Amino acid sequence: MKRTQIQLEELVWEALRARSFQERRSIAEIIREMVRSQMEKRKARKPYSIRDFSFIGAGASRGKGAGAVSERHDEEFADSIP
């Protein structure tokens, strides 16, 4: 086992301290359990694929003049002001 030092926000530390007292376990033991659990969840998760990003392009412009705003947004904005 390796030793490390972390800094926690006051509210997080108080919550951990209360849990530690209720469960009669050390704060370090609770943190180790939480870290281990999170690492196992990430390991079980499938790698990202392009299908996970299907929302990309959902707001794309279509039709006449599509792309003009993204290419010349400053000019388009200035033209839209009366």
In this prediction, residue 64 carries a pLDDT of 61
- Domain presence at residue 72: no
Task: Name the residue range of residue 37's domain.
Answer: 10-44
- Domain presence at residue 36: yes
Is the model more confident about 50 or about 23? Answer: 23
- Domain presence at residue 39: yes
What residues contact residue 23 under an 8 Å CB cut-off, 6+ apart? 30
Is the model more confident about 65 or about 5? Answer: 5
Q: Return the percentage of the chain with pLDDT > 90, whole number.
A: 38
Q: Distance (Å, rounded) from C-alpha 72 to C-alpha 66?
A: 11
Average pLDDT for residues 62-72, to the nearest whole number? 60
Q: How many domains is the chain partitioned into structurally?
A: 1
3-state secondary structure of 52: helix
- Domain presence at residue 30: yes
In this prediction, residue 68 carries a pLDDT of 56
Decide if 76 contacts 68 (C-beta within 8 A).
Answer: yes
